[in-house]
Structure 1
Amino acid sequence: MIYVIGIGISGRPSLAAPALEIISRAGLLAGGARHLAEFADFKGARLPVTADLDGLAKAVVMASKKGDVAVLATGDPLLYGIAAFLIRRFGKARVEVMPNVSVVQESFSRIKESANGVLITSAHGRRGLGGLVKEACAG
């Protein structure tokens, strides 16, 4: 099974026991450098996630032949996150998503403001802001 585990702003302490158990038994732990640093005690193989998503997919294929794979992500992995790519590549039956609070949710909670009506989009990986501005103004 491929587990995509969302990590909250506070890092490792934001994870519930089931997520920590999955991470501890995974044969491969993949994630951004900041997320991997939270698990310096992890004994299995580690893979920093970069823009090379095909490389990630190949590593996941190889590792999943031997056991579970845990992919660490920020907040909700399906909110402009890596989970959508992994589900497209491997199918819903092979990917389990364990979301956490998104940065957007946590930010609004910290300033004690409602997030009702907030338009959520992403500038990550986009060239220029023209398309983003059009998307924001379309509503």
Structure 2
Amino acid sequence: MDETFAEVVPAKRRRDAVTLLAMMREITGEDPVVDRSIVGFGSHHYRYASGREGDAPAAAFSPRKAAMSIYLPDGIDAHAAALETLGPHTSGVGCLYVKDLEACDLGVLRGIIERSYRTAIAGITANPARE
């Protein structure tokens, strides 16, 4: 796994990747699987209203140059209250973007990831993050 993060820049993104790797491994009890730049843990099946379906990691992150991307299969809206106390971040429909984990409340982040992971593995097939 070290080689996965060796070229991640800036250095704080590399540091944050190591933190998230340990956190998600502990939350999920799963070993990470790297697919391109996404580090995923476990899997869940999703089905869109259109009928399209597939499998995706139940918890995942990607150490991008601009910010750490944390994927939330149940969507950002499911965590609105917690996000108010997280600390500096931005978000998309199903993705949380954090530039510096040290500026965030890691307990709040852990809770968000735990809830999202539990929802994903509970067999809920709808994927509100993408609909």
**TM-score, length-normalised on structure 2?**
0.29
Report which of the two has the higher share of strand: 2
Structure having the higher Rg: 1
**TM-score, length-normalised on structure 1?**
0.28
Structure number with higher relative contact order (C-alpha < 8 Å, ≥ 6 residues apart): 1
